Amino acid sequence: MRTLAYLEKTVLENLREWKILSLALVLAPAFVYMMYGYFDAAAPAYGLLVANRDSARAGGSADEAAGLVDAWRRARRPDGEPVFDLQEVADLGAARERVGSRDVDLLVEIPRGFSKSLATLRETKSGAPPRLVNHADETNLRGSMAMAMSDYVAFTYVAERTGAALPLDVTVRSLGSGLPRSEFDLYVPALLVLALIMVLFTAATSLIKEVDKGTMTRLVLSKLGTAELLAAVSIAQVGIGVVALALAYLAALSCGYVSAGSLPLLLLVGSATALSVVAMATLTAAFLKSMFELLTVGTFPFFVLMFFSECMFPLPKIRALRIGSDTLYANDVLPTSLCVRAFNEILNRGAGLGDVAFELVAILVLTAVYFVVGAWLFRRRHQRA
C-alpha cells in the first residue's frame, strides 16, 4: 500500500514538473526530425569532380571517357539514390582546392589517351591499361569511400567495354531484412535509445527533490522502505520512457522509416532499458543532494550514456568478454549500448526474441547490479534515520 501511495504521489509530481517531463518526451522525436532534415538537405551522394582531359575539346576521341563519366552518373545505391554528385571541371588547381577544403570528396582526372588505350586493349587484349588519376584528401574518410566506389565503377566499365573477365566474382548475401536502408534509417535505433536515456533526468529529479526539499525525512518516518520508494519511482519512470520511445518511433515512421521487426519486442527491450536507466539514475542521485547539483554534476552521466552508447557515433569494438557465441564489449557496461545493438537487430534486420535474448538478459543483469549498488548507496546517504 505504501508503494501505491508513493506511486500516486510521484506521478502527480512528475505531471506538475511539466517542463522536465516535456523535455524528456519531446527531445528524442525532435532529434529524429532534425536528423531527417539534415540527411534530406545534405544528400548522402559523394561529391565527385571529373577533369576529363580526353574530351573532344582536348583533341581526344571522347567516346570512352564520356562513357565512363556517364557510368559514374548512373551509379545508384540500393535505395535508388545516386552514388555520386558529379561535376565536370576544367581547372585542375581549383578542383584540388575544393577537395582539400572538403567541399567535395574526390577529384578524378581522366588523362589524354584514355579512350585510345582502352580501344587498343579491347582490340589486341594486350598493352598498357588505361589510366585514371585520383586526387583525394587522406584525412577525409568520405574521400576514401568515394574513391573505392568510383574505382569499382571504373573497373566494371572497362571490363564491359573490353570484354575482359573480372579477376574476382563477388556475390553479396544480405544478413538483414533485405530492405534498402538510407543513412537516416541506420541512425534510427540510436535515436530511439536517446528517448530512454532522457529518463535519467526525470528519475533522478524524482529522487533528488525529496532530499532537496527535506521531505525525505518524512518518508523515512513513514517507514517507506528503499525498495518501496524505488519500486514506485521505477514504475512511473518506465512508463515515461515507454511513452518517449513510442513518440520517437512514431516520429521516425512519419519520416518514411520502415521497420523490419516486431513493435512488441521493441517495447519489451525498451522497457528493460528504461528500467536500467532508472537504476543508473538511483546511483547518480546517491551522490547528489540538490537540484542544482543534478543540473550541473548530474549532466556528466547523461553525456557518458549518450556518447559511449553509440547514440552519436560508432565506437571501436574492444572485446571484454566472450560468452559462448556472444561477445560483450568494453562499452557494454552501459545497458543502453546493448539496447542500441538490440534495436538495430530488431528494426533493421527483423530479429526475433531469440536473436536479441543475449542483449536482453545482459541488460537485466546489469540493471540488477546497478539497482543493488544504487539502492544501498542511496539508503546510506539519504535514508538513514
User: Residue 106 and residue 145: Cα distance in Å, rounded?
Assistant: 9
Q: Which amino acid is at 157?
A: Y
User: Residue 42 and residue 19: Cα distance in Å, rounded?
Assistant: 32
Cell 525529496 locates to: 210
What mean pLDDT comes out for the span 266-281?
95
Cell 583533341 locates to: 59
* pLDDT band with cut points at 50, 70 and 90 for residue 298: confident
User: Residue 47 and residue 142: Cα distance in Å, rounded?
Assistant: 9
Q: What pTM was computed for the model?
A: 0.79
The class (CATH top level) of 45-162 is alpha beta
Which residues, 6 or more positions from 221, have their beta carbon under 8 angstroms from its beta carbon?
none
Q: What is the pLDDT of residue 43?
A: 60
Average pLDDT over all residues of the chain: 85
Q: DSSP letter for 133, please.
A: E
* pLDDT band with cut points at 50, 70 and 90 for residue 42: low
pLDDT tens per residue across span 78-114: 777 888 999 999 888 899 999 988 889 999 999 888 8
SS percent in the chain: helix, strand, coil, step 5: 65, 10, 30
Which residues, 6 or more positions from 69, have their beta carbon under 8 angstroms from its beta carbon?
50, 52, 86, 88, 110
Residue-wise DSSP of 23-76: HHHHHHHHHHHHHHHHHHHS-SSEEEEEEETTSGGGTS--HHHHHHHHHHHH-B
Residue-wise DSSP of 144-175: HHHHHHHHHHHHHHHHHHHTPPPS-------S
Q: Where are the domains of the chain?
A: 2-39+182-382, 45-162
User: Residue 144 and residue 151: Cα distance in Å, rounded?
Assistant: 11
How many residues would you count in the chain?
A: 385
User: Residue 112 and residue 333: Cα distance in Å, rounded?
Assistant: 57
Q: Are 236 and 16 in contact (CB under 8 A)?
A: no
Q: What is the pLDDT of residue 55?
A: 62
